[in-house]
């Protein structure tokens, strides 16, 4: 049993203060009866409605975030700003977590959800989910780099990477790199094995998801129906 305001706030649609106002106005019902107070306790599997619209007490949330540099891919940290700190307070109570991680100084696409099975599906090495990054290095990329990435790099610590794709861009020190793994600092280590250092890194895609160019750094939005369908969630 959980408080009504906590259950509904967990959907990410309202803050607990907003829910209190909705209850007071008689706009919230549980199992067909008007709710009397936001601190009443209910089973999250009960039938909730707001303004006559059914609301699941266990609603799953899917957000696309344009992660800026300087925040960490974690749900909480006593000293550093996390990606959840970029969300409104009531959204932080929805049980969201980042799917995978981007290094503190890496920017770009990050999926936030409370759907554990989806996260497992996207992160499982067996699924071979493509992730594409824009990379800028302190030296030029060449054909030998492309071939080395394609053959599967062996990092300086002996770790063998799966074959990856490096596509050189117009600027000789820039490339698109697509990998199917997510090892610690993987792209930085891959580039370092080719005697260069990454100076800027941004994730552009993860599976069928593409970073929305309309999202500024630090901004987020719910996934569209088309994006949910691409993830098999329609």
- The tokens for 207 are 């599976």
β-sheet bridge partners, residue 15: none
Report the catalytic residues: 103
- DSSP string over 173-185: TEEEEEES---TT
218-223 long-range contacts (CB < 8 A, ≥24 apart) are: 218/66, 218/67, 218/68, 218/86, 219/65, 219/66, 220/63, 220/64, 220/65, 220/66, 220/86, 220/87, 220/112, 221/63, 221/64, 222/61, 222/62, 222/63, 222/64, 223/62, 223/63, 223/64
């Amino acid at each position: 049993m959980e408080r009504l305001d906590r259950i509904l706030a967990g959907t990410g649609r309202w803050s607990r203060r907003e829910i209190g106002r909705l209850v007071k106005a008689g706009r919230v019902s549980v199992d067909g009866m008007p709710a009397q107070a936001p601190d009443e306790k209910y089973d999250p599997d009960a039938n909730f409605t707001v303004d006559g619209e059914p609301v699941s007490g266990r609603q799953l949330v899917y957000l696309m975030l344009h992660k800026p540099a300087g925040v960490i891919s974690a749900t909480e940290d006593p000293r550093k700003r996390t990606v959840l700190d970029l969300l409104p307070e009531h959204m932080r109570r929805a049980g969201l977590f980042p799917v995978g991680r981007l290094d503190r100084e890496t920017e770009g696409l990050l999926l936030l959800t409370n759907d554990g099975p989806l996260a497992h599906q996207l992160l499982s090495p067996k699924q071979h989910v493509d992730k594409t990054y824009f990379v800028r290095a302190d030296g030029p990329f060449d054909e030998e780099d492309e071939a080395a990435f394609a053959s599967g790099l062996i990092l300086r610590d002996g770790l063998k990477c799966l074959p990856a794709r490096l596509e050189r861009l117009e600027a000789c020190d820039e490339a698109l790199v697509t990998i199917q793994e997510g090892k610690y600092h993987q792209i930085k280590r891959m580039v370092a094995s080719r005697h260069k250092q990454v100076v800027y890194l941004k994730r552009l895609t993860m599976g069928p998801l593409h970073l929305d160019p309309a999202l500024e750094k630090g901004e987020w939005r719910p996934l569209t129906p088309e994006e949910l369908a691409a993830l098999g969630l329609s």
